[in-house]
Structure 1
Amino acid sequence: MTNPDQPRPQSVGRDKIRIDGPLKVTGTAPYAYEQPTENPAYVFPLISGIVKGKVRSIDEAAARALPGVLDILTHKNAPRLLAKADPELYILQGPEIHYRGEYIGAVIAETPEIARHAASLVRVDYDDEGGDTAFRLNHPDEYNPKRINTGIPADSKKGDFQAAFAAAPVTVDAEYTTPYEHHNPLEAHSIIAQWDKERLDGVLGVLGERPHLKIYEGSQGVGMAQILLAPLLGLLPAQIEIISPYVGGAFGSKGIPHPPTMLTALAAKLLPGRPVKYMLTRQQMFRSVGHRLTTHQRVRLGATPDGKLTATAHNVVQSTARLKQFAEQTANATRHMYAAENRETTHRMVPLDIPPATFMRAPGEFPGMFALETAMDELAVKLGIDPIELRVLNEPELDPEEDKPHSSRHLVECLRQGAELFGWEERSPQPGTRQEGEWVYGMGVASTTYPRQLTMPTKARVVYGGGKYRVELTAADIGTGAWTVLTQIAADALKVPEDQIDLRIGQTGLPLAYLAGGSTGTYNWGSAIMVAAVQFRDKHGETPAEGAEAEGSAYFPDEAKKLALHAYGAHFAEVKVSSVTGEIRVTRLLGVYDAGRIINPRTANSQFIGGMTMGISGALHEESYLDARPGYGHVVNSDFAGYHIAANADAPDVQARWIEYPDYNFGPTGAKGIGEIGVVGVPAAIGNAIYNATGKRLRELPFTPDKLLE
């Protein structure tokens, strides 16, 4: 141990290379599918060829005759699930079909090639009941979900919006749409599942055995997955072991278990004691692991001639699966962003026979802020006011929704600093002012925000042994740098060098922590680690005995309940648009963020520019084309040939800056969340820049050339 009286440089706040970096660049970090197994079998799924109905018959004869086929899993021989705790995971329990591409079985074989070939030999007959996959307004089954993601009310109302909007001298009334999008992390979903028996020991000796399921899987939260799988499988959480030390990207798709996990677990149960492996193909990623739902949004703004907002309304209609609701909080940011005495927000769901949606980076705020921040730009144009000044003019003293003081809100400073760094003074409010050859240039701005999320209690444990401090919790590193920043936090909390910290995350059996999602990881897990460290030192002092340990739970001060807690920022975009082809290029993108204390500048910068690049991708490229004709209901561009994501050439100059105001109402780390605010608002900034270049307002994502040439 170091001498506690000797000065030691702080770890938190320092630029540190990733602890897991060398393993990843040398290809020696084992991801889920690469975990060592003996004599594995392989799964390839059978999927429904209709949208809705029932399986009438399955002809397995040709597949079973193929050498190397071990078994074929269908609803006729699938192990029974105990409880329908999650409709999405309640698979193969009957012949019913809820969406095209739903799992109706699987081939289990000695090799993945045999499994895939055998699956193509299975013949299925159906009772086809048609189904409805077409998202549209005025759907006869449209409904009010009452509550939306994060548990907040679907609707909100203050003042008299209708009267204030009717009386407003200047108004904007526009509709905005966002498409289906699908997660495409570098690591496709992959699972290894194995059933065996574990011995139960008691004070009187061996009490017996019970089933034990071991799963290797890329997961944003192994503890949450364990809790969600247990009731379906009829197990106690302790009977399920999940290991996920490294995750090759997730963006929400690996936040909770999806049907591939259950399919692999059920297949493995037919081969007790033998591991069964399944890695989704890129095409399969578009079927069964979630997506970002599609939205239609109407935003209305009323203002005085000098730009003061008097009325705001944000009315959202969005898709959901009939099988399982997922309702994004699309209008939530509008409730908190700008001051207006009269306002309303609503969410309505259109139930369809499609796969369930799930979290996708910045769920709700990403599509919602595209609409709001574009509408704010439209209002600025109508008023003849600089769009930055319009936002500053409507900066609220209290949170507009909750009437609470802000814990910290430095949005104006982000806008001002970003304007100076970006050269905003060179922007002309007149569209088409700057042109070089066929290219016209423009600049745009948009705000970004993401709230602090309420999470389940998170715990951490510190154990001393062998000269090191083992720090344990079921956190996850999904490529964001958790291995590194949690080590930094632990080192400072325990007042030891980083090389004395032995961090253990990404597996069950450790203290339960909330998943990596909602920009909660660092401040939530870090808080638990800091509290555990304080408990450890209070209990064991500076010279702990071998095996000394202590636990602690994440701490948030009581006064935080009286405050509005959000992260903020501003995005600045410069684009060039071809006057010949309509091609759009983002030439520069800058983000300036108010994100509390920055634990590690290197990993934070990576998160910010990664989010901004994903924002470029959503603005210019990403769209899943769902063929909604009767009898189809599938995504037609389900590969990288048809579903485009941003490449290096799409993001030539992406930079992030931040203003650092630690906010201890988010927890003792002083950090806010940074995973989402890098992506929120980027499409609006780009769209506003396109308007500044061309004079054409685009209200539909993505911004493809055909929309400019119409």
Structure 2
Amino acid sequence: MSAGREQEQGAGERAALVGRPVDRVDGPLKVCGQAKYVADVAVPGLVHATMVLSTVSRARVRRIDTTAATALPGVLCVMTHENAPRLPEGGRAAIKPPAGRTLALLQDDQVHYDRQPIAVVVAESLEVSRHAARLLQVDYEPLETALDFEAGKVGAHPPKEAQGQTPDSVRGDVAPHWNAAAHRVEAVYTTPTEHHNPLETHATLAQWHGERLTLHDSTQYVYGVQTSVAKTLGIAPEQVQVINPYVGGAFGSKGSTWSHVVLCAMAARAVGRPVRLVVERPQMFGPVGNRPRTEQHLRLASDTAGHLTAVQHDVWAETSRIEDWLETSALLTRMLYSCENVATSHRLVGLDIPVPTFQRAPGESTGSFALESALDELAVAAGVDPLAMRLLNHADRDEHKQLPFSSKSLRACYEQGAAAFGWSRRDPRPARQRDGDWQVGYGMGTATYPSKRMAAEASACWRPDGSVLVRCATHDLGTGTYTALSQVAADTLGLPLRCVQVEIGDSALPQAPVSGGSMTIASVAPAVQDACRAALARLVELALGDAASPLYQVPHERVQCVGGRLCRRDDPAQGESVAALLARHPGQRVEARARSQPGAEARAYSRHAFGAVFAEVRVDRDLGEIRVPRLVGAFAVGRLLNEKTGRSQLLGGMVWGVSMALHEHTLRDPRYGRVVNANLAEYHVPVNADIGKIELIVVPEDDPHVNPLGAKGVGEIGITGVVGAIANAVYHATGQRVRELPITLDRLI
């Protein structure tokens, strides 16, 4: 596969590929419709399943009348709690997050939330299965329902943990410094329930081969699905293979194993044929997770100059009564700014709602809105410029973990972002800048996201034509993983890009972590690099021991691979092509496998990416219409392995920040818990007309400690900072402080 002539040159004829804006190697397949997503996979004998979801939030199912559905020609099976196969431990054997969830697998008659799966219809065609699903008649016995967030706060409970940290933290003593402060701000900020809505909805194809199960599943964690499905069904993980080479967006929603995956496998076994189940768009607002609602109480205090003297951040977040899941909104408050007295807490409000899950920048996106808004309010109270306020309170080290940062170029982000935006032209007085009927405001916020890394494995195998196959069970969510790993492999091996093939998205491949938390490249790329180095070393050893090779008995350190040729470093003319060498050794596999994982540096440094976002907002003074004509984001994210795909991720994050600030809100009927805007017409996300000019600055940063390639994740940091910057700009434009998302015109009237 060629990605352009300049990408086909040898390593000795061009600069390194890593870091360059290389076109996506999978781009031609996608634009030509040749990349097969799960809903595109077809196998002989395939039939179709449709989930039937509950229409109440808490009840007991008295009876499901399937008569009309089973009478339809083409219907093969209607599976309910009355006839579904019994599973080990009642279907509760699945591992806990991040791979598994408390699933609804038709093991009892209980309904715990709106849009819970209560039946599955299997038919010869998709049309018949969906028609039959709508013919089921369900009789419910209503039960007492907990839906009121405010009432639920009375019984709120602390979570067991917060992404590996304690849910509460105390540094210093907040109370006396709060009481003695020159300036104080105390406010409550709320963020709503939100849903992911990737372009590709969830889908699963299940096919049994005796006691072995093949799953094509739109997941961002094939190993997690393999493990949790096997445990739920009571079979060995080796009996389950999960395949998903292409993902049409995920954003955290596909990082867990949800009910439909196991239900599809159960249906396939029941009818004895391969079954495909595609989650319909309205069903995406039910049993596949969401960002939970939060209520955040902040108290910030400073001295007369604006130095922080006390910070308290208390979070209440909704969760399901059947399983705890925490939105860790206060974690960033522990480390982002310098302050000796900081207290944070998290509490969970259990409601009869679906189990929440990770959604792009979980915790940081919601928490940064509250913290950046509160800091802006404190800057106003202290009479300090918001940018100057952040510089005054810049943290040179992680004061929570008491560790140095592996790298931190935040000051450069502030400087470059402010200069590009024209921050110095900002009138410090609110509601003073006008352009005709538009009130104009400038706001800013700090962006941050942890730079995570987990253990991963990869293999590299030389093929007879001199190309290399690189394999790893990671994923490409549309982020450019195929391309970035190809660049790393090509540079490591001294090959043209067209001579590298990357195979991912299969649990039969070397193990990789969930593709989430902005850690895919940081985790997998070092493993690919190590595997390729080892494979190259074995190839060189083959040449050095081959009497027919021009490199016979040449010292190993004097041999290199350039453009698909092994040659002497001091005499490149002396050598041969990799293909020629391998042709003399037919049938001999030259391959290597490597494992890469964090070392002592993970405990010696606090690892984060940082950035600064500046927003211009315009508010129609008569209509309250809000527009964001201009955003500037400056980010320090270590080394970008691919400039084009990396910038694309940052831009996408900033667009999502606009969406979160002004548009997204899942609306539940407070009486019945039903989602009333379960579609893309009423669940608002930005269209092209909603997004103005976005200027993106990538601040150069060298980080030798974050991972061997110096790369920090860029998938999520783009959201953080944007929401707070827009909220602060709205205040600067209007003089009205909006502390509840989304910021819609009704909140300004």
Structure 1 length-normalised TM = 0.95
Structure 1 counterpart of 2:181: 168
Structure 2 counterpart of 1:510: 509
Structure 2 counterpart of 1:235: 235
Structure 1 counterpart of 2:415: 416
Q: Are the aligned partners of 1:245 and 1:477 in contact in 2 as well (CA < 8 Å)?
A: yes
Q: CA deviation at 1:270?
A: 0.8
Q: Are the aligned partners of 1:573 and 1:588 in contact in 2 as well (CA < 8 Å)?
A: yes
Equivalenced residues, count: 690
| Structure 1 CA distance for aligned equivalents of residues 102 and 628 of structure 2 | 39
Q: Are the aligned partners of 1:472 and 1:510 in contact in 2 as well (CA < 8 Å)?
A: yes
| Structure 2 CA distance for aligned equivalents of residues 560 and 216 of structure 1 | 35
**What is the aligned counterpart of 1:622 among 664, 669, 679?**
664
Structure 1 counterpart of 2:246: 246
Q: CA deviation at 1:178?
A: 0.1
Q: What does residue range 304-323 of structure 1 map to in structure 2 within 5 Å?
A: 304-323=303-322
Q: Is the deviation greater in 361-370 or in 113-122?
A: 113-122
**What is the aligned counterpart of 1:572 among 589, 596, 614?**
614
Structure 1 counterpart of 2:219: 219
| Structure 2 CA distance for aligned equivalents of residues 96 and 314 of structure 1 | 37
Structure 2 counterpart of 1:458: 456
| Structure 2 CA distance for aligned equivalents of residues 138 and 3 of structure 1 | 63
Structure 2 length-normalised TM = 0.90
Q: What does residue range 377-392 of structure 1 map to in structure 2 within 5 Å?
A: 377-392=376-391
Per-residue Cα deviation, 1:469-524 (whole angstroms, up to 9, x for no partner): 11111110000010111100111122222122111101120001011100001111
Q: Are the aligned partners of 1:33 and 1:217 in contact in 2 as well (CA < 8 Å)?
A: no
> SS in structure 2 opposite 1:665?
coil
Per-residue Cα deviation, 1:30-74 (whole angstroms, up to 9, x for no partner): 111001222321111222232223222121111111111111011
Q: Are the aligned partners of 1:146 and 1:155 in contact in 2 as well (CA < 8 Å)?
A: no
Residue 297 of structure 1 aligns with an amino acid whose one-letter code is Q
Q: CA deviation at 1:21?
A: 1.0
> SS in structure 2 opposite 1:619?
helix
Q: CA deviation at 1:76?
A: 2.0
| Structure 1 CA distance for aligned equivalents of residues 157 and 15 of structure 2 | 57
| Structure 1 CA distance for aligned equivalents of residues 18 and 370 of structure 2 | 37
Structure 2 counterpart of 1:79: 85
Q: CA deviation at 1:411?
A: 0.8
Structure 2 counterpart of 1:666: 706
1:609 aligns with 2:607: no
Q: CA deviation at 1:673?
A: 0.8
Structure 1 counterpart of 2:166: 153
1:120 aligns with 2:120: no
Per-residue Cα deviation, 1:324-372 (whole angstroms, up to 9, x for no partner): 2111211000001001101100000001111110110000010000000
Q: CA deviation at 1:416?
A: 0.7
| Structure 1 CA distance for aligned equivalents of residues 53 and 532 of structure 2 | 50
Per-residue Cα deviation, 1:226-258 (whole angstroms, up to 9, x for no partner): 122210011211211111111111111111111
Structure 2 counterpart of 1:204: none
1:406 aligns with 2:448: no
Q: Are the aligned partners of 2:453 and 2:522 in contact in 1 as well (CA < 8 Å)?
A: no
> SS in structure 2 opposite 1:14?
coil
> SS in structure 1 opposite 2:509?
coil
> SS in structure 2 opposite 1:315?
strand
| Structure 2 CA distance for aligned equivalents of residues 54 and 665 of structure 1 | 54
| Structure 2 CA distance for aligned equivalents of residues 294 and 105 of structure 1 | 28
Structure 1 counterpart of 2:344: 345
Distance 1:166 1:3, change over 3 A: closer
1:592 aligns with 2:590: no
Residue 701 of structure 1 aligns with an amino acid whose one-letter code is L
**What is the aligned counterpart of 1:680 among 713, 720, 739?**
720
Q: Are the aligned partners of 2:17 and 2:490 in contact in 1 as well (CA < 8 Å)?
A: yes
Q: CA deviation at 1:90?
A: 4.9
Q: Are the aligned partners of 1:444 and 1:687 in contact in 2 as well (CA < 8 Å)?
A: yes
RMSD of equivalent CA atoms:
1.6
Residue 737 of structure 2 aligns with an amino acid whose one-letter code is R
Q: CA deviation at 1:5?
A: 9.2
Structure 2 counterpart of 1:205: none
Q: Are the aligned partners of 1:90 and 1:232 in contact in 2 as well (CA < 8 Å)?
A: no
Per-residue Cα deviation, 1:271-310 (whole angstroms, up to 9, x for no partner): 22x2211212211110111100000001111100101111
| Structure 2 CA distance for aligned equivalents of residues 557 and 409 of structure 1 | 20
**What is the aligned counterpart of 2:206 among 169, 193, 206?**
193
| Structure 1 CA distance for aligned equivalents of residues 517 and 75 of structure 2 | 42
Q: CA deviation at 1:319?
A: 0.3
> SS in structure 1 opposite 2:403?
coil
Structure 1 or 2, whichever has the larger Rg, is 2
Q: Are the aligned partners of 2:601 and 2:706 in contact in 1 as well (CA < 8 Å)?
A: no
Structure 1 counterpart of 2:589: 547
Q: Are the aligned partners of 2:55 and 2:115 in contact in 1 as well (CA < 8 Å)?
A: yes
**What is the aligned counterpart of 1:649 among 685, 689, 693?**
689
Q: Are the aligned partners of 1:181 and 1:292 in contact in 2 as well (CA < 8 Å)?
A: yes
Structure 1 counterpart of 2:560: none
> SS in structure 1 opposite 2:271?
coil
| Structure 1 CA distance for aligned equivalents of residues 593 and 657 of structure 2 | 39
1:36 aligns with 2:42: yes
Structure 2 counterpart of 1:200: none
| Structure 2 CA distance for aligned equivalents of residues 552 and 666 of structure 1 | 19
Q: CA deviation at 1:4?
A: 9.5
1:19 aligns with 2:33: no
Residue 201 of structure 2 aligns with an amino acid whose one-letter code is A
Q: CA deviation at 1:98?
A: 1.2
Unaligned ranges ≥5, structure 1: 198-210
Q: CA deviation at 1:696?
A: 0.7
1:266 aligns with 2:266: yes
| Structure 1 CA distance for aligned equivalents of residues 36 and 43 of structure 2 | 12
Per-residue Cα deviation, 1:635-673 (whole angstroms, up to 9, x for no partner): 101111211001111112112111121312221111001
1:134 aligns with 2:148: yes
> SS in structure 1 opposite 2:225?
helix
Identity %: 42
| Structure 1 CA distance for aligned equivalents of residues 71 and 445 of structure 2 | 61
Per-residue Cα deviation, 1:159-211 (whole angstroms, up to 9, x for no partner): 111111111111111110000000111111111111122xxxxxxxxxxxxx1
| Structure 2 CA distance for aligned equivalents of residues 682 and 137 of structure 1 | 32
Structure 2 counterpart of 1:55: 61
Unaligned ranges ≥5, structure 2: 1-7, 95-100, 541-565, 567-577, 583-587
Q: Is the deviation greater in 667-676 or in 221-230?
A: 221-230
Q: Are the aligned partners of 1:556 and 1:667 in contact in 2 as well (CA < 8 Å)?
A: yes
| Structure 2 CA distance for aligned equivalents of residues 539 and 27 of structure 1 | 38
> SS in structure 2 opposite 1:337?
coil
Distance 1:65 1:5, change over 3 A: closer
Q: CA deviation at 1:702?
A: 0.2
Q: Are the aligned partners of 1:51 and 1:130 in contact in 2 as well (CA < 8 Å)?
A: no
> SS in structure 1 opposite 2:309?
strand
Structure 2 counterpart of 1:201: none
Q: What does residue range 87-126 of structure 1 map to in structure 2 within 5 Å?
A: 88-126=102-140
